[in-house]
Amino acid sequence: MSGSATEHSSPPPRRRVRRTAGALACAALLLPLLGAAPPATTAPAAGSLQRAFASASAAYHVPQSVLLGVSYLQSRWDSHAGAPSVSGGYGPMHLTDARTALEAAVSHHGEGTEDARGDTARAALRPAVTTTVPQNAALPARLRTLPKAAELTGLGAAELRGDPAANVAGGAALLAAAQRGLGEPLSADPADWYGAVAEFSGADDSATAAAYADDVYDVIRGGERRTTDAGQQVTLTASPALAPDTGQLGRTGLRTVSDDNTECPRSVSCEWVPAPYEEFGDSDYGNHDLGDRPASQSIRYIVVHDTEGAWDGVLNLVQDPTYVSWNYTIRSTDGLIAQHVRAKDVAWHAGNWYINAKSIGIEHEGFLAEPDAWYTEAMYRASARLVRYLAQRYGIPLDRQHILGHDTVPGPTGSYIPGMHTDPGPYWDWRHYFELLGRPLHTTAGPHGGLVTILPDYAANQPEYTGCVTAGEACAAHGSGEVRLYSGPGESYPLIKDIGLKTDPTTGVNDLSSRVSTGQQYAVAGRQGDWTAIWYLGQEAWFRNPAGPGRTAVNAAGLVVTPKDGLDSVPVYGRAYPEKEAYPAGVPAQAVTPLPYRLPKGQRYAVGDELPGEYYYSVTFTADSHQVVTGNDKYYEIQYGHRVAYVRAADVTVERSGS
């Protein structure tokens, strides 16, 4: 349900994406799964989930710490009110029941006719073609663990989906069956369960299963304490000296997958599934560009996407040479990472060529507009480890102006703005993600620091959204990392309007007009009671920010830009391209076209980076004509609205916030 870039400043022939009735049918088959949540039940008694783990441990002779560790990695002990994850997993143990779904669907890049490359210098010349995705492939075992749990426990499928205690019992039964299948005793020592935990992941290769089991044992060693989405307090006591018998992995019989050619940390499971680089004639080619990064140009961004489709179908699409590309995809069930495009090359994923040329794109198996089609902890952790590795390797700062959501990538020109994508959306937990990145978001200044960092409590912050299922109808209440903006200090004031979208603001799940996201920083424009004003899209925008537990932002300090003295306002850009004089012969100069926004005098915006004007010229299949054009003009990346933007250094003054 993310948007699609459909317009150009001077429309070229379109790159048409491949989409067929078969693919749409697969996507349609997914809908019964995602809508299969049972009706709400009465709230469970306090402590009942902790007791359920103890009871299941005793009944199936599985160490309680193993049950708790596995469940934490699957769901962080949340029940999601019986709603399924993106891969059809239910309850605290993420028991999968994808009987009505085929693992093939259309990626969000296939929505409409979006130009994911985002460079009008190269027109797409091919006619529309069709794609085929498998419709009759058997569901893998990792997507049908709930029916097996039903056989082992004698409990009904509906009970296993909707009753957290039954779900925990089902998970315990699966672990015990795996232990027996390996010829291991039902030991009381959690160190003896490594092989069973690896098998529980559902992975069909030893590397992914081992990475999953290692994560579970890391959780057990460190311990955890958390209040779940149902208000249950659950505790796992730390066992820091625990050393599992990793040799059991060899008895699982799982296949070995080579990680040759991959650029991944050793702490994750990673396989090479290459996006093909092929020529089609008439100077047309796909689905990425050859490059020489970081030697030729720096990599400054990592872009977080969600797939809007399921694993197998999305991998089929990225292997289609006539389609678009991204660098990595991460699987929901177990955190397996597939790499498709090497970091030196430029994938077509962000819809803005400047961002593409300076970024790495990571797709996460998931759905923006299905808040309860939730992401597993295994996927969050694998993603965070990959991002930490890439950030260290390429010198990318771990903040929200460098770790971008696709929804914070700016339109390259004004005509692109209405169709830019909106994933991963309001239900991606940026607060938890940055904790996993080792850069937890927190207060960094006193009340006069001049900036705020958006930081609501994800679970408690539940703004109303509409359009998840039906346009205009309310989405299910759910935690969110985003905060809504008004034109005055109260919800009776109109929502802030984004003139670039050319629409009136709404509460739609894909409408970014008047929303700020966790981790983003803005200059304070005023305060009144429980309300804080920030500078946003050239306007004074207000959000509710009471003191205490209900606060939605914390104080911060840093660099800001404001127009130079004597200027009433300065233009804002969606890309940092060089001045015309910087282009050598044979490389057509790209227009430095402002967006339909201004930065007025008296307003301040948080600075993310100082950058040279830069353009990667790459419009041919062979790389002999490719080159990076670097100008003398400098730009500042700023947090302008929900999306980042750029201003010319020559137009602005940089100062400390709060000064």
pLDDT per residue as tens digits for the range 17-26: 333 333 323 3
In this prediction, residues 503-522 reach a mean pLDDT of 97
What pLDDT, on the 0 to 100 scale, is given for residue 32?
A: 29
- Select from 11, 8, 122, 12 the least CA-distant residue to 414: 8
CA distance 319 to 104: 13
Q: pTM above the 0.85 mark?
A: yes
Higher pLDDT pick, 82 / 437: 437
In this prediction, residues 184-208 reach a mean pLDDT of 96
- Select from 226, 206, 242, 510 the least CA-distant residue to 367: 510
What pLDDT, on the 0 to 100 scale, is given for residue 16?
A: 30
DSSP class per residue in 5-31:
----SSPPPP-PPP--HHHHHHHHHHH
Confidence of residue 534 (pLDDT cuts 50, 70, 90): very high
- Where do the domains of the chain lie? 562-656
The amino acid present at 303, given as its one-letter code, is: V
Greatest mean pLDDT range, 372-386, 464-478, 531-545: 531-545
Higher pLDDT pick, 86 / 210: 210
Structure tokens at 469: 């299922």
What pLDDT, on the 0 to 100 scale, is given for residue 214?
A: 96
CB 268 within 8 A of CB 219: no
pLDDT per residue as tens digits for the range 392-440: 999 999 999 999 999 999 999 999 999 999 999 999 999 999 999 999 9
In this prediction, residues 29-50 reach a mean pLDDT of 49
Give the three-state DSSP class for 255.
strand
CA distance 532 to 534: 7
Q: What share of the chain is helix, strand, coil (3-state, %, to 5)?
A: 25, 20, 50
In this prediction, residues 118-146 reach a mean pLDDT of 62
In this prediction, residues 95-113 reach a mean pLDDT of 52
Task: Please work out, in degrees rounded to the nearest 5, the angle formed at the alpha carbon of residue 306 by the alpha carbons of 3 and 79.
Answer: 120
Residue 10, pLDDT > 50, answer no
Higher pLDDT pick, 536 / 109: 536
CB 86 within 8 A of CB 367: yes
CB 69 within 8 A of CB 217: yes
What is the rounded average pLDDT for all residues in the chain? 88
What pLDDT, on the 0 to 100 scale, is given for residue 311?
A: 83
In this prediction, residues 178-188 reach a mean pLDDT of 97
What pLDDT, on the 0 to 100 scale, is given for residue 561?
A: 98
DSSP class per residue in 34-68:
HT-PPPP-PPPPTTHHHHHHHHHHHHHT--HHHHH
Confidence of residue 516 (pLDDT cuts 50, 70, 90): very high
What pLDDT, on the 0 to 100 scale, is given for residue 390?
A: 98
